[in-house]
Amino acid sequence: MGYKLAGYDHLGGVEIDPKVADVYQTNHKPKHLYVEDIRLFNQRQDFPPELYDLDLLDGSPPCSTFSMAGSREGAWGKKKVFREGQAKQTLDDLVFVYVDTIAKLKPKVCLLENVKGIIQGNAKYYSKQIVARMQAAGYRVQVFLLNAASMGVPQKRERVFFIGLRNDIKLPELVLRFDEKAVRYSEIEDVLDKTENTKNTKGYLLYVKTKEGDSFSKEDPRGQFFGYSKIGFNNIPNTIVSNSGTAQWHPIFFRQMNKIEVCQIGTYPLDYNFKSIEPKYLIGMSVPPVMTAQIGHQIWLQWLSKIKY
């Protein structure tokens, strides 16, 4: 969606989760859709010619093992079965598998996105390896830490972008600076939703005590509601996460952000067809389309528009 907003022709992608691929197919009807592990995709010898020398190849390898809220080192190198239902696999090495995809398809510009945690602590090893392997594949690499809130997205969402320009293309370094006006919760609130659910007595009592912008855990001696927070009207919403144990609550009514609000926070169209997938899960797993559009537009302006085809 982000690249379409920026004016690109979108060709397709690779997705291991059949349910997510179905949503992708329904909403975007990609010309090329490979529903398989990226490792299997890399082994293919039957790519159509238009997948080589792409203007831009974008990849977001799973980030849960690098998130500061995740298991991090405890999950590195370990195989497990994930909720998508595929075979046992490791996740932390998929950033390198995607670099193999870059090396195989040789796009003019390549982009690898992940969470801020990949450049923090022991995960810096992975960042250095990503840069080294992208360079070995023939790219000049820059690393950016960007916040969606500065890019016209009503969400505080920091993400790291490794962006490479193929060595044979001689252009200046990419400059990415964004200073869009903050979009606060009051601007995207669904004012018609006055739902109240007071059946969860403990949660309701904590909610009543919690101040706008604070976590419920501040009022909970056992800290069990760490992932719950009461958003303030003048606040930029926090990162939408796929985890069902984390939620942002309305400043006045005892309800979580509803679908209309979650879509706007994630910059998804209100008529997007999520099919059987919970909107919060899919949006929490995504880079906000407007964030992608901002980056894609600058890549076009500063690089791709300068190339003679």
Cα torsion angle, 140, 93, 246, 289, sign: positive
d(CA 309, CA 297): 18
Helix 94-105 and helix 124-136, axial crossing angle in degrees, nearest 10: 10
**Residue ranges in 92-140 assigned as alpha helix (H):** 94-105, 124-136
pTM of structure: 0.91
Amino acid at 31: K
Residue 113: how many other CB atoms lie within 10 Å: 21
pLDDT for 82 equals: 54
Q: Per-residue pLDDT for 70 more than 60?
A: no
Amino acid at 48: P
DSSP calls for 50-84:
GGTT-SEEEE----TTT-TTS-GGGGTT--B--TT
pLDDT at 68: 46
In the chain, where the domains are located: 2-181+289-306
| pLDDT at position 63 | 61
Higher pLDDT, 47 or 65: 47
Does residue 262 register a pLDDT over 90? yes
Percent of the chain with pLDDT strictly greater than 90: 76
Distance, in Å, from the CA atom of 153 to the CA atom of 133, rounded to the nearest integer, reads: 32
DSSP annotation string for 3-47: HHHTTPPP-EEE-S-HHHHHHHHHHH--SEEE-S-HHHHHH-S--
The pLDDT score that the predictor gives to residue 150 is: 98
Average pLDDT (249-255) is 95
Q: What does the pLDDT look like over 73-111, one tens digit per residue?
A: 454 455 566 555 566 656 678 899 999 999 999 999 999
Length of the chain: 309
Domain 2-181+289-306 has CATH 1.20.1560.10: no
Range 101-129 average pLDDT = 93
